[in-house]
Amino acid sequence: MEVMIIVILATLTCALIGNFLVLRKLSLMGDAISHAVLFGIVMAFFIVGTLHSIWFFILSVLFAVFLGFIVQWIVERVSISRESIIGVVFTFFFALGVLLIVQFAGNIHLDTHAVLFGSVEFSVFERFVFLSFDLGPKSMWTLGAVFLLNIFLIKLFYKELKITTFDPNFATSVGISPKLIHYLVMFLTSITVVTAFEAVGAILVVALLVVPVVTSYIFNKRLNFMIGYSLFFALLSSIVGYLFSVYFDVSVAGAVAFISGVILCFVVILYKMFAYEQTN
């Protein structure tokens, strides 16, 4: 049950910020951050010495934000498309992270498999204990907190986000800085990816950031409906995916990603049929 709550919280958090990533053509940024942050995690581990402290978390988030800056910085200086630069930067940091683990950290508990595929099954063993009361898994609390932070900031800057996403020139002319909002999105993405991927792994994070959102994007024209439906699809894939994984005894993260893809498939087919009827 706790596993399911963690999965649901992760899917909702990712889908919420995912809407802005998809609309801003930054979908692959989630992929990049979730891989490159491996280097951040290793460095944070060297500095802090443990995987279970708030400083470790803060350093990882800072690194992810820094990554967004690097990509932006390079993109502004060369005439190569953004997504290629993302590819160069994230593979560099991932490779560096792997090499550091191989060279210096053979004995630390940094399992590259767990990093990539997630081990939500084990995340429930990490408990949040307050005054010797067991308040449930730690990831549940961190994810919950990040989810609330996302809701709060997105609600607060909803108008700005909307304008800068659809018409950056107009935004500049009414005094909203598209650059500032871009960094707000990158910050929220970073904190979401770092939190969620600790619990559910890099691949599921990418799936959750993008798949429910594009499913909803296919048939929605209005931003608030799009966000609403994406949250619905996220919820649906996490519940069905979880049950699927329990039934067949397979990886939870993989199952949720797979089910979200199946839902996307259904929606595309339904949409095509419906669109076909409309044209006749």
Is the Cβ of residue 45 or residue 117 nearer to other proteins in the bound state? 117
Judged by beta carbon, residue 35 or residue 138, the one nearer other proteins is 35
Closest approach, Cβ 95 to other proteins, in A, equals 4
Least distance CB 58 / other proteins (angstroms): 26
Task: Select 57 or 100, whichever has its Cβ closest to other proteins.
Answer: 100
Minimal distance, residue 137 CB to other proteins, in Å: 21
CB 98 within 8 A of CB 38: yes
Which C-beta is closer to other proteins: that of 137 or that of 254?
A: 254
> Residue 96 CB, nearest distance to other proteins (Å)?
7
Tell me whether residue 261 is exposed, middle or buried, using C-beta atoms within 10 angstroms of its C-beta: 0 to 12, 13 to 18, 19 or more.
middle
Write out the residues near other proteins by the rule CB under 8 A.
22, 25-28, 30-31, 35, 74, 77-81, 83-88, 90-92, 94-96, 98-99, 102, 112-113, 116-117, 203-204, 206-207, 209-211, 213-214, 217-218, 245, 248-251, 253-258, 260-261, 264, 268, 271-272
Quote the least distance from Cβ 140 to other proteins, whole Å.
22
Closest to other proteins by CB, 54 vs 78, is 78
| Helix or strand holding residue 12 (H, E) | helix 2-23
Determine the Cα–Cα distance for residues 116 and 130; give it in Å rounded to an integer.
30
Q: What is the C-alpha separation between 181 and 172, in angstroms, rounded?
A: 11
- Structural contact between residues 227 and 16, judged by C-beta atoms closer than 8 angstroms: yes
- Closest of 206, 230, 207 to residue 218, by C-alpha: 230
Q: How long, in residues, is the chain?
A: 280
CA distance 113 to 111: 5
Q: Give CA–CA dist 229/217, Å, rounded.
A: 9
As measured in angstroms, the least distance from the Cβ of 163 to other proteins is: 20
Closer residue to other proteins, CB minimum distance, 140 or 203: 203
